[in-house]
Structure 1
Amino acid sequence: MSKLNSPEATSPLAMWLHYLENIHSSAIDLGLDRVSQVAQAANLTKPAPTVITVAGTNGKGSTCALMESILLDAGYTVGVYSSPHLIHYNERVRINGQDVSDALLTQSFDFIEQQRKDISLSFFEFGTLSALRIFQQQNVDVVLLEVGLGGRLDATNVVDHDVSVITSLAIDHVDWLGDDINVIGFEKAGIYRTGRPAICGQPKAPHTVAAHADDIGAEFYQVGLQFNYQVTDEKQQRWRWQSGGFDLNDLPIPSLPLANAATALMALSVSGLELSDVNVVNGLHNATLAGRMQVLSQQPLILLDVAHNPHSAQYLVTQLKHAYPNQTIRAVVAMLHDKDIASTLSALSSVVTHWYPASLHGPRAANVDELVGYLPQVEGKFETPVEAFVQANQHATKDDVVLVVGSFHTVGAVLDYWQTTNMGSQHGQ
């Protein structure tokens, strides 16, 4: 969360964040009654002419970043709401690729505080309404909303959105969504709207997704049926996307997952927004997202990835095997207790040669001893991800890969350390 123990903790924004973290009985409180009342009273349910909402177990941030990049190339003013952040809360709300200012955030917080009256809002609910207020006041053309948890009962679902997207479906957030993939599919599909485009980028999705779309009369687009994609030239990094009369060839493979790019193109193609083939090509080429296969240094290669469940870990392993097939990988890992630690670490163990496990801190944090029980051998037990990262770098040769993985909190801590010390300059950055 926010850096409340730092010197900037006395800033107006930090004071607001501290207040918001303590005004509600629980950090997560699924349900739309309270947040919907405030959203309607404040006239925030349609913050822009076009709104695209994105749910999914993994890939939400990447899909939003890909759409954002394409839309910006086409000249649209684009607002993106995502969570969680890596270092600064401002990362959650960006306009035209730039994090919004402290001043805009505090002004919007003050507005929501006045509008809510005696209605209690969770941290995420308050932040969601604040983001909608900012987008509305800044007159953005398109808003891309990333669902926080689930879909049907998530605060973002109070918005009257034009296109609904599910990126992927896997078991995660078991405490809140359970471990039945059909139930999870239904919860995610809760963002679908009658008569509106409803996208599903999960191959062979649970039957509950299409069933719900059919029940409410949504316009359903399923990958493998209504849209398809394939790599056409792996050496030249080219691919093809098709849907009905649309057929885009010779597209550049982006740095973000190709499946998410295909889903993003489907969402944009039914959005009613005007886009050219050039916008698509440029947008795919330029799209990036912090904490997703993010390279900090080359010798050794320092790689950050927020993979934190089996589904995302398996995808990361595929990428690592392809890009760094014969290199020693030293993994700095710290996780949250409510994740599937055993299966996530098991997936990563197929490529990791040296482990540097660490503790996170907070009510959901896993202690390092919880991780060690699932690891074949470790290079030590560390109190923080930064301590583990420093040790891994000391052990690494110039040909090694230092991978930081397991949580947004893990990656955020290391990225903050990298940016606020002279470590980057020591590595020639």
Structure 2
Amino acid sequence: MPRSDASLDDWLAYLESLHASEMELGLDRVMIVYRRLMPEGLPGQVVIIGGTNGKGSTLAALESLLRAGGDSTGAYTSPHIRRFNERIRIDGEEATDEAICRAMAAVERARRNVPLTYFEFTTLAAFWLFREAGVAYPLLEVGLGGRLDAVNVADPVLSIITGVDLDHTQWLGNDREQIGYEKAGILRAGRPALFGDPDPPSSVTDQAAAQGIPLRIRGRDFGGEDGEGGLAASQQTALEAYGILGFEADSGLLATLREAPAPPGRFQRLEGAPPVILDVGHNPQAARWLAQRLSDIPEKPVQAVYGAMGDKDIEGVSGTLADVIDGWHLAPLPGPRGLTAEQVSDRVSGVIPDDRIRTFQSVREALASAREAAGKEGCVLVFGSFLTVSEALALLGS
């Protein structure tokens, strides 16, 4: 266990040494420690938010509504872009290093000899901080899947699935029905749930029907097309959740919702010549959304900085964006799952013409090349991974 004066970096390094695997789905280990840490469970009106894409945006929109209405919130999201503290917010403010270290020490005392993954440990630390702060509405973003994700040890009054598409197929299954089954694991019998997309797989609707869950579906029971009424799909879903929690949004709250900035790395635009757009999207569904947004912007050409993990559908992503991106500046990603630029090039070359692909040894080099190619009339898109976006933001000084 780290010393009493250990820094947050010391704790994070320690967590990385605790478990042999970066990821191990299952609730047995984390449930043991959770019950030791807070025998009464996580207090407050818990909302769990899962789905393939849009989890962070939906959580941020609901957080904005609750805070504007005067209610206290805790927000737990992952992964972070620039610093770990982004993962834990209390009333809109990132948790301090000191507070997170206290929470981690509390989890360590409760853990004893139970092995926890990095995500399981930090999830419980967030829960501890929310309980300590007495937040009324803990908002929890699923890390992966849902059924076996660590946040699912909490007992939600409302569950939200933003949508289901192909991603993390090696863990969740190879089609929407299998993935939907895993994501529907956050539903609770008899308690309300939302599906933030007009096309839920039957694995979700069947589970809802079997458990007597009043499942409301965007486009059928609330909301409409993405952007309808000036609200993105994630905002429509958050607004419906706000109503289910017992509140009514007046015109002032609706204005707050429309004007609320998107979370960092979600089509985040940094003005300049050229402007730079950053998006953490990394699967075909996210790429379809990106393609639509890029087709609407006036700046052309679009030059992309792209890095990817080896387990992602690189061919599907690049094929979806082939018609809206004019140049591909490929960068490497670190870690065992990260690919070199040359490996990414091998996988996109069957979809993108070779004369539109360039490879680089760093995000810095790829970003410089993309900005030069875009000129003053075009724009740069940085996407494909939280790691790529994080490094680009640091380089751009944002």
TM over 0.5: yes
**How many angstroms apart in 2 are the aligned matches of 1:378 and 1:412?**
24
Per-residue CA deviations over 1:58-111 (Å, capped at 9, x if unaligned) read 000000111111111111121110001111011111122221110111110100
**How many angstroms apart in 2 are the aligned matches of 1:395 and 1:350?**
17
Check if 1:300 corresponds to 2:278. Answer: no
Letter in 1 for 2:24: D
SS of residue matched to 1:312: helix
Per-residue CA deviations over 1:373-403 (Å, capped at 9, x if unaligned) read 2132345311222221122223331111011
Check if 1:412 corresponds to 2:390. Answer: yes
Which residue, 368, 375, 383 being the options, matches 1:390?
A: 368
Letter in 1 for 2:158: V
Which residue, 86, 93, 98 being the options, matches 1:91?
A: 86
Query: Retained in 2: the 8 A contact 1:66–1:284?
Result: no
Please show how residues 121-160 of structure 1 align to structure 2 within 5 Å.
121-160=116-155
Higher deviation after alignment, 213-222 or 387-396:
387-396
Check if 1:315 corresponds to 2:289. Answer: yes
Unaligned runs of 5+ in 2: none
- 2:187 corresponds in structure 1 to 192
Q: CA deviation at 1:147?
A: 0.2
Query: Retained in 1: the 8 A contact 2:197–2:219?
Result: no
SS of residue matched to 1:414: helix
Q: CA deviation at 1:260?
A: 1.2
Per-residue CA deviations over 1:25-72 (Å, capped at 9, x if unaligned) read 211110111101111111177434211110000000000111111111
Query: Retained in 2: the 8 A contact 1:356–1:379?
Result: yes
- 1:41 corresponds in structure 2 to 36
Query: Retained in 2: the 8 A contact 1:357–1:378?
Result: no
Q: CA deviation at 1:282?
A: 1.4
Alpha carbons of structure 1 residues 44 and 13: separation in structure 2 relative to 1, 3 Å: farther
Which residue, 345, 359, 364 being the options, matches 2:318?
A: 345
Q: CA deviation at 1:298?
A: 2.9
Alpha carbons of structure 1 residues 160 and 273: separation in structure 2 relative to 1, 3 Å: farther
Query: Retained in 2: the 8 A contact 1:70–1:284?
Result: no
Unaligned runs of 5+ in 1: 1-9, 232-236, 241-252, 425-429
- 2:380 corresponds in structure 1 to 402
- 1:111 corresponds in structure 2 to 106
SS of residue matched to 1:403: strand
Check if 1:276 corresponds to 2:254. Answer: no
The total of aligned residue pairs comes to: 389
Higher deviation after alignment, 212-221 or 388-397:
388-397
SS of residue matched to 2:310: coil
SS of residue matched to 1:411: helix
**How many angstroms apart in 1 are the aligned matches of 2:254 and 2:314?**
37
Letter in 1 for 2:95: V
- 2:308 corresponds in structure 1 to 335
Alpha carbons of structure 1 residues 166 and 44: separation in structure 2 relative to 1, 3 Å: farther
SS of residue matched to 1:347: helix
**How many angstroms apart in 2 are the aligned matches of 1:59 and 1:66?**
11
**How many angstroms apart in 2 are the aligned matches of 1:288 and 1:357?**
26
Letter in 2 for 1:52: V
**How many angstroms apart in 2 are the aligned matches of 1:405 and 1:222?**
29
Q: CA deviation at 1:224?
A: 2.7
- 1:201 corresponds in structure 2 to 196
Q: CA deviation at 1:411?
A: 0.2
- 1:246 corresponds in structure 2 to none
Higher deviation after alignment, 21-30 or 93-102:
93-102
**How many angstroms apart in 2 are the aligned matches of 1:62 and 1:163?**
17
Higher deviation after alignment, 60-69 or 275-284:
275-284
SS of residue matched to 2:180: helix
Alpha carbons of structure 1 residues 51 and 80: separation in structure 2 relative to 1, 3 Å: same
Alpha carbons of structure 1 residues 19 and 380: separation in structure 2 relative to 1, 3 Å: same
Per-residue CA deviations over 1:261-304 (Å, capped at 9, x if unaligned) read 11111212111246434223312322421001111123211111
Q: CA deviation at 1:230?
A: 4.7
**How many angstroms apart in 1 are the aligned matches of 2:6 and 2:102?**
14
SS of residue matched to 1:80: strand
**How many angstroms apart in 2 are the aligned matches of 1:394 and 1:52?**
45
- 1:285 corresponds in structure 2 to 259
**How many angstroms apart in 2 are the aligned matches of 1:97 and 1:321?**
33
**How many angstroms apart in 1 are the aligned matches of 2:152 and 2:90?**
20
**How many angstroms apart in 2 are the aligned matches of 1:55 and 1:379?**
35
Q: CA deviation at 1:323?
A: 2.0
**How many angstroms apart in 1 are the aligned matches of 2:42 and 2:293?**
37
Alpha carbons of structure 1 residues 191 and 45: separation in structure 2 relative to 1, 3 Å: farther
Q: CA deviation at 1:259?
A: 1.3
Query: Retained in 2: the 8 A contact 1:337–1:365?
Result: yes
Query: Retained in 2: the 8 A contact 1:309–1:344?
Result: yes
TM-score, normalization: structure 2?
A: 0.93
Which residue, 218, 230, 240 being the options, matches 1:223?
A: 218
TM-score, normalization: structure 1?
A: 0.87
Q: CA deviation at 1:142?
A: 1.0
**How many angstroms apart in 2 are the aligned matches of 1:288 and 1:44?**
36
Alpha carbons of structure 1 residues 48 and 384: separation in structure 2 relative to 1, 3 Å: farther
**How many angstroms apart in 2 are the aligned matches of 1:274 and 1:40?**
35
Query: Retained in 1: the 8 A contact 2:198–2:220?
Result: no
SS of residue matched to 2:46: strand
Alpha carbons of structure 1 residues 379 and 343: separation in structure 2 relative to 1, 3 Å: closer
